[in-house]
Structure 1
Amino acid sequence: MDYFEDVKSIELEAESEAEAINIGQEKLGLLPEEIKCEVVGEGSRGILSLVGSAKKKYRLSVKDPDHYRARKLLLKVLEYMGLPAQVESERVSEGIYLHIRSKYQGLLIGKRGQTLDALHFVLNRLFSGNGEDHTPIIVDVANYRRRRERSLSRLAQNVAKKVKMTKIPQILEPM
């Protein structure tokens, strides 16, 4: 089963790049900043080449196919889970960051983030299924990962201070 739909690409004629992007936004279902627009040729000039301005032929496609596919894949997985949600995505230095907004946040996070970790694992496995190197995907719900990271950092600092003061080794529970 192919989990990815083909990355969309269309060709159209328009008088300007802005007009092409507006038309493409509707047809592709993407935001303007997600659209890559390139001129591929001169289009028709209007009636008998006398009236109307010259149109150009544009090819519109997704700017970042991995970004697009990761977001669509997560939406599909959430749909299979029966959990309606919105997914916002951004490219970060670590990879593609997908942030889920849903009224089922607690269910998506799970106990100590176990459900979120499982979702993260499944998504990365599906995304890298073709065996090629892929961009890592980070899945988060309600900024849980960022909050948890800060919490663990504070815990580690506090334990380090305690060890330094008491000179007694401390054992942390599994995280």
Structure 2
Amino acid sequence: MSSTLEFDGKDVDAAILTACKELGVKKEKLKYDVISYGSTGIFGLVGVKKARIKVFYRNNEKLQATSGDVGDEREKNGAEVEIENDVVTVKDEEEKDDGFSDVTPDFEEAMEGFKGYTFDDPPGILGKKALQRIIDLITTDAMITVNEKEDELLFNITGGNTAVLIGRRGKTLEAIQYIIEKIINKHHKDRIRIQIDVGEYLKIKQNNLVELAQRMAEKAVKKNKPFSIGKLNSYDRRIIHIALKNNKQVKTMSVGKNYYRRLVIFPKK
């Protein structure tokens, strides 16, 4: 049999640190799966969620569960916990936290005070005006250009306080993009893919994701077991799917049903 403990933190790193401290295990030896990467919500004000990890134990190693607020009752009472073998656990289950699940404002009410456009505007104009309104509330002297394709809009922001617009690990920019996508697609029949860039942030992020995908694919083939890459939004998942599309040794699959989903890389048999 195998058992697990769950640990929370403001982000995954904090949850890992807590797990290591509670269990007396070095970080490099900790075996875990990420249940939730947490979320700063919309601008860190609404829908904030903690990150949570599930720690797995080896069969040949026994530890005392010392945390008073994680695990089941046996673990809380100091029962011996078995640790399972060194495996990468991938479960096809619905993710519980999508980072925005608590954000359910009335759309028209939320848009009160946004003047200067109508929902009859073409998607590019509607998105640009709404985006300009939002970023003007965050920083000054920021300008927006729009690159329109058949089913995709790329908004590029220049000037202003780029660090504030991007936010920690890109969370603020992602929240803004989420809002603009909802505004545009709520009032247009055909779904339009939205991307918002600040400087060359998206290019750098894409390169990092491609490198990560290639590393994980190599590990999946070498160890002959699936590896998962965090909770990703649809744009990040698409980058990885495309990056590994021509790799004959692996296949990719998104797991989950909410805004954020894990992407799993499987070695082909």
Q: Same fold (TM over 0.5)?
A: yes
* TM-score, normalised with respect to structure 1: 0.56
Is structure 2 residue 220 aligned with structure 1 residue 109? no
Structure 1 pair 113/90, CA: closer, same or farther in 2 (3 Å)? same
* TM-score, normalised with respect to structure 2: 0.38
Query: Given residue 221 of structure 2, which amino acid in structure 1 is its aligned partner?
Result: K
Structure 2 equivalent of residue 69 of structure 1: 126
Is structure 2 residue 194 aligned with structure 1 residue 122? no
Structure 1 equivalent of residue 210 of structure 2: 153
| CA contact 2:138–2:165 (8 Å) conserved in 1 | no
Counterpart Cα distance in 2 of 1:126 and 1:78: 15
* Cα RMSD (Å): 2.8
- Deviation, 1:93, is 4.5
Structure 1 pair 111/5, CA: closer, same or farther in 2 (3 Å)? same
Match of 2:157 among 100, 106, 109: 100
Counterpart Cα distance in 2 of 1:134 and 1:166: 39
- Deviation, 1:119, is 0.5
Structure 1 pair 83/123, CA: closer, same or farther in 2 (3 Å)? farther
| CA contact 2:139–2:160 (8 Å) conserved in 1 | no
Larger Rg: 1
Once the two structures are overlaid, the 10-residue window that deviates more, 115-124 or 157-166, is 157-166
Structure 1 pair 160/82, CA: closer, same or farther in 2 (3 Å)? closer
Q: Size of the alignment, in residue pairs?
A: 119
Query: Given residue 184 of structure 2, which amino acid in structure 1 is its aligned partner?
Result: F
| CA contact 1:3–1:126 (8 Å) conserved in 2 | no
- Deviation, 1:129, is 4.6
| CA contact 1:120–1:138 (8 Å) conserved in 2 | yes
Match of 1:5 among 89, 111, 116: 116
Structure 1 pair 131/116, CA: closer, same or farther in 2 (3 Å)? same
Is structure 2 residue 142 aligned with structure 1 residue 85? yes
| CA contact 1:78–1:84 (8 Å) conserved in 2 | no
Structure 1 pair 157/117, CA: closer, same or farther in 2 (3 Å)? same
Counterpart Cα distance in 2 of 1:124 and 1:118: 10
- Deviation, 1:108, is 0.8
Structure 1 pair 79/166, CA: closer, same or farther in 2 (3 Å)? same
Gaps of at least 5 residues in structure 1 are: 8-63
Is structure 2 residue 213 aligned with structure 1 residue 144? no
Counterpart Cα distance in 1 of 2:135 and 2:190: 24
Give per-residue Cα distances to partners, 1:42-98, cap 9 Å, x unaligned.
Answer: xxxxxxxxxxxxxxxxxxxxxx83222221221111112243301111113541110
- Deviation, 1:140, is 1.2
Query: Given residue 5 of structure 1, which amino acid in structure 2 is its aligned partner?
Result: G
